[in-house]
Amino acid sequence: MRSHNLTFVLLFISIMITGNAQDVHIAGGGTLMDWANLKFYQESNEDLKKLNDPKRVVFMGNSITQQWSVFNKDFFSNNPFVNRGIGGQTSPQMLVRFKPDVVKLNPKSVVIMAGTNDIARNSGPIAIENTAENIISMAEIATANGITVYICSTLPAIDFLWSPGLKPAAKVIKLNNILKKYCIEKGITYVDYYTSMVDSEGGFNSILPRESGLVMRGDIRNMKTIQVGEEVNLLVAKNNGQLQLIKIN
């Protein structure tokens, strides 16, 4: 009798989980059935795979990257750039979708920016070292597939409106130090936005608060592209007036 009761309970739990899986929302718009939100770019990916572009550059990231297309639409539409940012996502989610959203698109290069939402615990507590390992794993997958890698620094933050009290400033510095060290060791380009965007307290020096989170101004989305001969380069505008030139093809 107990065996039958246990079977019934397990069956009931299974039905409840299956029936409600799509109603449980995960950071970055995922669900229990699609934790990394692989479906988000699935249709677009299929279309892009039919088009061969030897100069394609994929931008992998969170809302900072995703909203870039809203903030500066021409940056993507006028260049062979593909936006694969998903707002709210953390590095383990990006790692899961890195192959379908980056590698299988056969890009020349990938620009990776992650870490903010890990520190904000969007998908639960995670050690800084584990976040770095996830970003490094993405870089290693790209390198193994002949894709040039650009790892961006995590942007400064003194607090998060959606997850207050975590004191992220020192954690951001620690993560960036690990990423920069890795890039130096492996000969990968480290794009340092942090240094020019941090204020005296370790926060972001160009933030406008909004109820939904953080809206940036004067940030990395002001990147420009310039033509030098047959080469297209990213011209990174920095708040301190200095410029960083990154070759992308």
- The pLDDT assigned to 73 comes to 80
Q: Considering its fold, how many domains does the chain have in total? A: 1
Q: Which residue did the predictor score with more confidence, 1 or 140? A: 140
Task: Give the residue-averaged pLDDT of 101-119.
Answer: 95
Residue type, 90: T
Percent of the chain with pLDDT over 90: 48
C-beta atoms surrounding 195 within 10 Å: 13
Q: Does residue 140 sit within a domain?
A: yes
Report the CATH number that the domain containing residue 93 is assigned in CATH.
Answer: 3.40.50.1110
Structure confidence by residue, pLDDT tens digits, 179-198: 999 999 999 988 887 876 78
Q: Phi and psi at residue 110, in whole multiples of 5°?
A: -135, 135
Nearest to 58 by CA among 189, 194, 188, 150: 150
pLDDT digit string (tens) for 90-101? 999 999 999 999
Domain residues for 152? Answer: 27-209
d(CA 189, CA 207): 26
Q: 209 exposed, middle or buried (CB, 10 Å; 0-12, 13-18, 19+)?
A: exposed
Q: Which two tokens stand for residue 208?
A: 């406008």
* Residue 243 is assigned to a structural domain of this protein: no
For the CA atoms of 142, 69, 53, 114, what is the dihedral angle to 10 degrees?
0
pTM of the entire structure? 0.78
Cα separation of 66 and 213, whole Å?
14
